[in-house]
Structure formats: structure tokens, C-alpha cells
Amino acid sequence: MVSFEDFKKLELRIAEILSVNLHPNADKLYVLGIRVGEVQKTIVAGVRAFYSPEDLLGKKIVVVDNLEPAVIRGVESQGMLLAASDEQSLSLVIPERQMSCGAKVR
């Protein structure tokens, strides 16, 4: 179980995908350039089997903004996007309405 106090530590925010590049060391990963408010970051995401670069570019997504950076197959990831998946598919968690970059998800 995760306590409510621990959950409150997560900063979930709206980000815009500014760039999509193939990960140089992994066939299933993209290296995404994102903007969260006025800050630009890089995240590594395992969504390549489900989304083309054209599908992702310009899309608004939900990210964990305060996740400790991690090096994934040689590339530093400075956050994590949220997605739902089942046995057949994967879907990004996206805002239903137009939201500004950096908006808090509560």
C-alpha cells in the first residue's frame, strides 16, 4: 500500500512532446524531448511499438515530473510518461481538454 502522504510527493504534470527520436541502443524505446511549463527535459519511453513519431509530436501527455533521473540504455531520462496497457495495446494518459504545459494533475 502507498500512503496518501507518499502519493502527494509525486508531481504529475502536463507536458508537450517537442521531439521524438529513436533510442540509439534500444528497438522499443523513443527519446522524447518534452516541455513542462518553461522547462525542457528528456524522457525515455517504451511506446515505440504503439506510436509513430508523427503520432507523438505535439501531443500533450501526463508525466511524473519529479522522478529521480535514471539512465536507460545509455540515455538519461528525467521523468516518466503515464500510460495504460493490457495484453494487446498501450494508450498514453492524455488530458481530455486543452491544458497548459506544466498544469498540475491532481
Give residue 66's pLDDT.
97
Distance CA 63, CA 3 (A): 20
Q: CA–CA separation, 25 vs 60, rounded Å?
A: 26
User: pLDDT, tens digit, for every residue of 70-89?
Assistant: 999 999 999 999 999 999 99
pLDDT digits (tens, 9 = 90+) for 3-29: 999 999 999 999 999 999 999 999 999
Q: What is the pLDDT of residue 93?
A: 97
| pLDDT score, position 11 | 97
Residue pair 93/82 in contact by the 8 Å Cβ criterion: yes
Spatial distance between the Cα atoms of 63 and 96, rounded to a whole number of angstroms? 15
Percent of the chain with pLDDT over 90: 99
Residue 15 CA to residue 41 CA, distance in Å, equals 10
